Structure 1
Amino acid sequence: MKKLGKRFWPLVFYSIAANVGNVIFFPVMFYAAFQQVFHLTNTQIGSLTAAYASLAIPAYLVSGIIADNLIPSF
């Protein structure tokens, strides 16, 4: 563990960031089941996707700025 040292937290953040992409594909893979379980129309699912995108894009920008300032470069 001592060899990891300063690289531990960047590795943790990288692994979390790499798995965030899976969230985007879950609605695509489970679209029909999601629609049936929650009784949503295509329009409502489109609105949810738009809401997610409108929140995700600014969050990506802010998290990028935070990552540039807090995580040391190698």
Structure 2
Amino acid sequence: MTLLTHSNGPFESATYSSGARSTAGTSAAEAHLTMIKRFCIGALATLAIGGAASAVVALRAALYFSRHHF
């Protein structure tokens, strides 16, 4: 029967009360939001690097074609 009862006294709140659950859920939600933000920043950085590389290639092509009069 000891497994079914709380180890605290009869008038003390349990350690897994709804207040403790909401705090744990908040930290989990914050961690999830941080993970999403980190993913979005990485995706934007990848797109920015790709755009810069494309701009360099386009500039080099424009210089090549302007020198050779195509």
Name the TM-score, length of structure 1 as normaliser.
0.36
Structure ranking higher in helix proportion: 1
Name the TM-score, length of structure 2 as normaliser.
0.37
Higher relative contact order at CA 8 Å, sep ≥6: structure 1 or structure 2?
1
Structure index of larger Rg: 2
